[in-house]
Amino acid sequence: MAIFVQKFGGTSVGNPERIARCAMRVKQRVDEGHKVVVVVSAMGHTTDELIALAGKVSTTPSRRELDMLMATGEQVSVALVAMALESLGVPATSLTGGQAGITTDGAFGRARVTKVSRERLDRELTLGRVPVVCGFQGLSRDGELTTLGRGGSDTTAVALAAALQVAEHGGACEIFTDVDGVYTADPRLVPTAAKLARISYEEMLELALLGAQVMHPRSVLFGERYGVPIHVRHSQRPDEGTLICRETPDMEDVMVVGAALKPDLGRVSLRRIPNNPGVQGMLFEAVANAGIMVDDIVQTEFGEIASISFTVDHGDLADVKIAASQVLDKVGTGELAVEIGLAKVSVVGTGMKSHVGVASRMFTALGAAKIPIHNITTSEIKISCIVGREHAQRALAIAHEAFGLDKIGSKSQAEATAV
């Protein structure tokens, strides 16, 4: 008998019929003799509707009150899912985040889980009941309702799975969603993309940060820290999905497991500026103060003169330009250049660490296709190239093919290596 945490997203519980299908999914695991804890998000567009309602009452609602409001979305879902389970003969108990033992800090709207107590869950499981827990929310030590921010329900599921030690009990955290697993690339962009049977936390994290939307990076980090096996599956189909787990030796034999695309980037360059200590700090503090997330940073220097380039989302370019100009005024010398219409193509794989020639294979493939590379950044397990937006989708497909990703899918990665 294993323990499974099953998480259903907003689309999966979007209406009474879908809720009934989720309940069937839970019942299957229960019928197999396993213990199950369910985590659910708010139904469909509930969260958006609540935000719109708040907007009609106040132009500047406080984060605390928004959390009080938002938390009702998941509470509706858990009650309905528990009812659906009971109507199938599966004893179930809905629980708010707080009741389920999730303690957070007091940062409304983006609270961090600080503690998970498993007492209540254990009590329900011992009684043979299925706890159905509100995702996305917790209770602060002061007894305030908090929400976890983006990707919060996944984080709830992984945190509960960690507390319940599902790995030690042969179970997993199952994330049911509207895709059937993690693909070697976004299938809408690369039709030959294949579903991965397994992927390591590190790889998933890089892919998530690079634009893959299957899992939020935060929940993957949580899973890595506590070694929670995360199984990403389709909520309406029975197939096996993708298992996110610790890197195993055979995984290293695969150089690359996925390719990702971030479209619509812009690049800001400060050229010929004096490379004084502190100039980088001044620049990126100004950018951060403007509330802008920076993608990649590249610096080159020639003696005491440096150039700094960084990419940002296209929509942030205007704000970045203002902030960067002000810094340049303070520095006193140098010039500012802004390029638009860029995109970033990346490949990710733990295997890169032990293989040579990964970068050259990517550059050669893009070169053969006559796609100019504007910038290169690498980490231990990824290589990213900035290309023109007009080449972006083709560059993704070329990188995908160059590493044989279309042949990797649905086989174990050890098998895939043999290809």
Site for a copy of itself, residues 46 to 65, rule: CB under 8 A: 50, 53-54, 56-62, 64-65
- Counting contacts by CB under 8 A, is residue 168 touching a copy of itself? no
Give whole-number Cα distances, 225 to 107, 219, 222, 279, in Å. 22, 10, 5, 35
How big is the chain, counted in residues? Answer: 419
- Counting contacts by CB under 8 A, is residue 26 touching a copy of itself? no
DSSP-H helix ranges across 95-213? 119-126, 152-163, 201-209
| Residue pair 259/210 in contact by the 8 Å Cβ criterion | no
Cα–Cα dist 361/286, whole Å: 38
Residue 162 burial by Cβ neighbours in a 10 Å radius (0-12, 13-18, 19+):
buried
**Among 51, 83, 294, 331, interactor with a copy of itself by CB under 8 A:** 83
Smallest gap, in angstroms, from Cβ of residue 174 to a copy of itself? 22
Smallest Cα–Cα separation from 91: which of 41, 157, 21, 36?
A: 36
Smallest gap, in angstroms, from Cβ of residue 366 to a copy of itself? 51
Stretch that binds a copy of itself, among 1-9, 76-84, 194-202, 351-359 (CB under 8 A): 76-84
Smallest gap, in angstroms, from Cβ of residue 38 to a copy of itself? 13
Helix (H) or strand (E) holding 336, with range, is strand 335-348
Residue 380 structure tokens? 């231990």
Sequential DSSP letters for 348-407: E-GGGGG-SSHHHHHHHHHHHTT----EEEEETTEEEEEEEGGGHHHHHHHHHHHTTGGG
- Counting contacts by CB under 8 A, is residue 179 touching a copy of itself? no
Smaller CB separation from a copy of itself, 123 or 272: 123
- Counting contacts by CB under 8 A, is residue 107 touching a copy of itself? no
Smaller CB separation from a copy of itself, 63 or 110: 63
Smaller CB separation from a copy of itself, 79 or 336: 79
Smallest gap, in angstroms, from Cβ of residue 56 to a copy of itself? 4
In degrees, to the nearest 5, what angle opens at C-alpha 376 toward C-alphas 358 and 276? 135
Smaller CB separation from a copy of itself, 20 or 305: 20
| Structural Rg of the chain based on CA atoms | 23
Residue with tokens 């629980």: 95
Smaller CB separation from a copy of itself, 152 or 349: 152
Distance of CA 54 to the CA centre of its chain: 27
Smallest gap, in angstroms, from Cβ of residue 22 to a copy of itself? 11
Smallest gap, in angstroms, from Cβ of residue 21 to a copy of itself? 12
Cα–Cα dist 93/128, whole Å: 10
- Counting contacts by CB under 8 A, is residue 84 touching a copy of itself? yes
Smallest Cα–Cα separation from 38: which of 103, 102, 82?
A: 82
- Counting contacts by CB under 8 A, is residue 325 touching a copy of itself? no
Smaller CB separation from a copy of itself, 78 or 260: 78
- Counting contacts by CB under 8 A, is residue 264 touching a copy of itself? no
Smaller CB separation from a copy of itself, 88 or 328: 88
Smaller CB separation from a copy of itself, 96 or 326: 96
DSSP-H helix ranges across 137-195? 152-163
- Counting contacts by CB under 8 A, is residue 416 touching a copy of itself? no
Stretch that binds a copy of itself, among 72-80, 147-155, 199-207, 278-286 (CB under 8 A): 72-80
Smallest Cα–Cα separation from 85: which of 165, 29, 11?
A: 29
Smallest gap, in angstroms, from Cβ of residue 109 to a copy of itself? 13
Smaller CB separation from a copy of itself, 80 or 273: 80
Cα–Cα dist 149/125, whole Å: 28
Smaller CB separation from a copy of itself, 58 or 114: 58
Cα–Cα dist 344/288, whole Å: 21
- Counting contacts by CB under 8 A, is residue 99 touching a copy of itself? yes
User: What residues make contact with a copy of itself under the rule CB under 8 A?
Assistant: 16, 19-20, 50, 53-54, 56-62, 64-66, 68-69, 71-72, 75-76, 78-80, 82-84, 86-87, 93-94, 96, 99, 143-145
